[in-house]
Amino acid sequence: TGEALINLKSWNNLPDDLKQIVENACRAANIVALAETEWRNAEALQALKADGVTTRRWPDDIVRAARDAAAEVILEFGQGSDIEQRIYLSYETMRARARNWSRVGAEAFLTSRNG
């Protein structure tokens, strides 16, 4: 699921089997939501094209400028409080790992699939 808010004291009082059920239900909801979003986006794009809408990619210079601006904001956030610094380091670690995986995973798959 995109978000599940559970009181920590209540969570800690749950038996392990119920915690596992909640975790599995959240994972399942997340998978279904992702699949549904992909399908609905594909349907929406088809409807837009049927109405004569032409889609285009953002120009590279605009994408680069947006990426640079976002990097500045994220870096500035990472120079804040202790928790903000920890969040920033965690985010950057995840982003580096995800980027490496994307190159050989999703990006490679989509490139080969789309030709």
By percentage, how much of the chain surpasses pLDDT 90? Answer: 83
pLDDT class for 3, splitting at 50, 70, 90?
Answer: confident
d(CA 111, CA 103): 10
The one-letter amino acid at 41: N
Instruction: Please write the tens of the pLDDT for every residue from 15-30.
Output: 999 999 999 999 999 9
Dihedral of alpha carbons 97, 101, 102, 103, sign: positive
Decide: 91 and 74 in contact? Cβ < 8 Å. Answer: yes
Q: Where are the domains of the chain?
A: 1-55, 57-115
d(CA 39, CA 47): 12
The one-letter amino acid at 60: D
pTM: 0.61
Decide: 14 and 22 in contact? Cβ < 8 Å. Answer: yes
